[in-house]
Amino acid sequence: MPLIRLETTATLDDLERRSLCGKLSRAAAEIIGKPETYVQAIVHDRLTMVHAGADGPTAFVDVRSIGGLSAKVNRALAARVCQLLGEVGIPGGRVYLNFTDVPASHWGHDGSTFG
C-alpha cells in the first residue's frame, strides 16, 4: 500500500520497464505521502488494448491506497503519471486512471492486514 499498476500496449525494453516502474513508485510515494518502502509498482506492457475504438499507444493505471487519496492528490498523480507515460510515447489523452481508497482491513501483507 499504495499500489500503482500500469497496463499498456507500449513495448518497453527491460531497462525502460525497470526505469518506468521505479519512477511510478517514487511518484506514488511522493504525491500520496507514503514511504516508498510501502509502495508496490507493477508494469505490464505489450498488452492488446484499444482506446476510443482504435489501436495505438494506450494505458490504464490503477492506483490503490489506504488513505492518502483525495481530489487534489489524484489530480497531481494523474498529471505526473501522464507526463511519465508521455516520455515513453503514450499520450495523456489515451490514458485512463482509476483511484481506489482501500479500507485497511481489506489490504493484506505479511500474513495479516493493515487494519
pLDDT greater than 90 at residue 1: no
Q: How confident is the model at residue 11 (pLDDT cuts 50, 70, 90)?
A: very high
* pLDDT digit string, tens, across residues 27-41: 999 999 999 999 999
In the numeric block, the cell 487534489 is attached to 72
What's the distance, CA 30 to chain centroid? 13
pLDDT digits (tens, 9 = 90+) for 49-62: 999 999 999 999 99
Tell me which residue of 84, 76, 98, 66 sits closest to 2, measured CA to CA.
66
Query: Fold for domain 3-105?
Result: Macrophage Migration Inhibitory Factor (3.30.429)
CA distance 62 to 46: 17
User: What contacts 34, CB < 8 A, 6 or more positions away?
Assistant: 1, 2, 28, 65, 68
Mean pLDDT of 92-103: 97
Contact indicator for 99, 74 with CB cutoff of 8 Å: yes
Query: What residues does 95 pair with on adjacent strands?
Result: 59
d(CA 24, CA 51): 22
